[in-house]
Structure 1
Amino acid sequence: MEYAHLTAQTIASPNGCADIRRAHDIAHRRLLDADSGHPPLAVNARSGSCRTRVQGRRMMSLNVAVLGLGIMGAGMAHQLVSAGHRVTVWNRTAARAEPLVAAGASLADTPAQAARDADFVIAMVADNHASRDVWLGADGALAAMKRGSVAIDCSTLDPDWVAELGAAMSEADVKFVEAPVTGSKAQAESGTLRFFVGAEESALTAAQPVLDVMGTEAIRLGPVGSGAVMKLANNFLSGLQAAAFAEALALIEAHGLDATLAADILRNGSPGSPMIGLMADRMLARDYTPNFLIPLMAKDLGYAERLMEATGIRSQLAGAARARFQDAADAGLGDRDISAVVERTRVG
């Protein structure tokens, strides 16, 4: 496959980010020379390191399979379809694929059928069990994949399972990239996810054209398994903050304080973080439209707790936070956003 895909590397110099702009302009002109239209540009600059990436219009469409059409997988698949790629989708509940089929995707009956002619196969499923099933099950994708094709698992998984899956991919001569994401529904739908990558550099290079459509940055952390560790650390901290803010807000409300004022003090003070801000907005509005489902947070905290135990870290926090989310799921809130955990802490 041939792509008009360019990366502008910043030259280290005292001019710093001025070189980013210059590299961007050069790359842009090269793209316009290669393609008479006006290619969409995705620029990602990080202060300090001054890295930038310029993504140009592809010259040929990619042949991609997407397995799993939950909140995240559906948004990712839609980005690929909207970019003009040939996309085949599979989901355990086929009805969830209807909007994507209407937009131009093809629907497969099994993961194997979806993967058979694909150059890239992406999985975004709930847990280890679902991942094992879509890749290695009776109708799993891996057995149907072409040698030299690229498998990308964006699910939040346990590192032990990721290592096992990576070994199976290697044996099948398939390039494997684990790429769990940071971001939620809005980022999946807008193509602004960030990927925590565990992979060989050559595998990441092969996967980059697909990752660029769905996100703004792919951060390679090390070999296969590294992405899972980073994602569990990320979700461990996110879960703790959501559960802690729920309890703090319940305390504030129970004592009759102005909850909006108090939440602003917390979000703008020492406890503040992007996660606290999100939780404050959703909990105060009682808007629990799903972005990240409660049972999935409980699962991720359980994975994180077990990983820490296996590492020799005795966490007294992961289990407590997991219990909060599991309690909410057991109380019938399993189809709601994680912010709904506050409803199990509110008094009266």
Structure 2
Amino acid sequence: MSDKVAILGLGIMGAGMAQQLLKAGYDVTVWNRSPARAAPLVEAGARQADSPAEAATGASIVIAMVSDNDASRAAWVGPQGALAAMRAGAVAIDCSTLDPHWIDALSADMKAAGIHFVEAPVTGSKVQAESGTLRFFVGSDEESLALARPVLDVLGSGVIHLGPAGSGAVMKLANNYMAGVQVASFAEALALVEAKGLDPRQVADVLRNGAPGSPMVGLMADRMLERNYDPNFFISLMAKDLGYADALLDSVGISSTLATAARARFLDADAAGLGNKDISAVVETLRKA
């Protein structure tokens, strides 16, 4: 297979992934709904395509990193979608956080077209994408994963093969469900102690080093205390992921008041104009001063 790789979606994650592939010497073609985002990558040596289909033409591997089910659907099977332009035997990798029901449908479309399909949502954010240290939650057959692995090894530091297509989406939604609940609950706790006049730095230190502590709590404490909301993970996307997680939980008979409540916090922050800020900014709608 050739070393031509197409990247569909140049948000925080997709742009970092494209940079890593360029550094590794791959022939990279990029596409994004907002074409201006491709400019730094074109300067670094990528080619820019006007559509997913154009980006995928002649590529041995096509990677999508987009915002949601609708964006994934448009990129792969919409008008000028990539799938129709891919040759049989090529590899499609979707690294987006998606609903497993859509993954099932997409996997069937890929199989019918003779395309190797790997769903590989990631754990990690901007720093990991830019440094090639993402971890991938993979749902795939062994043959397809073997074909995708050289590129995944450039982009990340670990591949966790969980089972067939759809398995990665379940893992990623479980992961983001727990993360979203932690962020929302820590935001509420921090806003509480601030409102009651306690020293928030002292309280945050107790919480991060006590029984409730976790890597996520430590990260959120730093960002919320400094009010540093440069985006690593958008509030709007966490709201979306918690919605997908809530529906997935419901599909197995688990009615999750936790997912619903946490999602409401992120939806409130989105409605307050914070949707493109980091998830840590969810605390701002709770602060009293």
Q: Give TM-score scaled by structure 1 length.
A: 0.82
Q: Give the letter aligned to residue 202 of structure 2.
A: L
* Equivalence map 1:40-119=2 (5 Å): 62-119=3-60
**SS of the residue 2:198 aligns to:** coil
Q: Give the letter aligned to residue 85 of structure 2.
A: A
Distance 2:148 2:24 in 1: 16
Partner of 1:235: 176
| 2:102 maps to 1:186 | no
Deviations 1:131-176 (A, max 9, x none): 0000000100000001100000000000000000000000000000
Partner of 2:115: 174
* Equivalence map 1:130-209=2 (5 Å): 130-209=71-150
Deviations 1:91-142 (A, max 9, x none): 0000000000000000000000000110000000000000000000010000
**SS of the residue 2:247 aligns to:** helix
**SS of the residue 1:317 aligns to:** helix
Distance 1:84 1:94 in 2: 23
TM superposition shift of 1:303:
0.2
| 2:212 maps to 1:271 | yes
Structure 1 runs, 4 residues or longer, greater than 4 Å off: none
Distance 2:167 2:9 in 1: 23
The percent of aligned pairs where both chains have the same amino acid is: 68
Cα RMSD over matched residues? Answer: 0.7
5+ residue gaps in structure 1? 2-60
**SS of the residue 1:271 aligns to:** coil
Which residue, 209, 231, 243 being the options, matches 1:302?
A: 243
Distance 2:96 2:245 in 1: 14
Structure number with higher helix proportion? 2
Partner of 1:322: 263
Deviations 1:314-342 (A, max 9, x none): 11100000010000000111110000000
* Structure possessing the higher radius of gyration over alpha carbons: 1
Q: Give the letter aligned to residue 88 of structure 1.
A: T
Instruction: Using CA pairs under 8 Å that are at least 6 residues apart, name the structure with larger relative contact order, 1 or 2.
Output: 2
Q: Give TM-score scaled by structure 2 length.
A: 0.99
Distance 2:273 2:165 in 1: 36
5+ residue gaps in structure 2? none
Partner of 2:280: 339
Q: Give the letter aligned to residue 102 of structure 1.
A: E
Deviations 1:55-107 (A, max 9, x none): xxxxxx72100000001100011100111110000000000000000000000
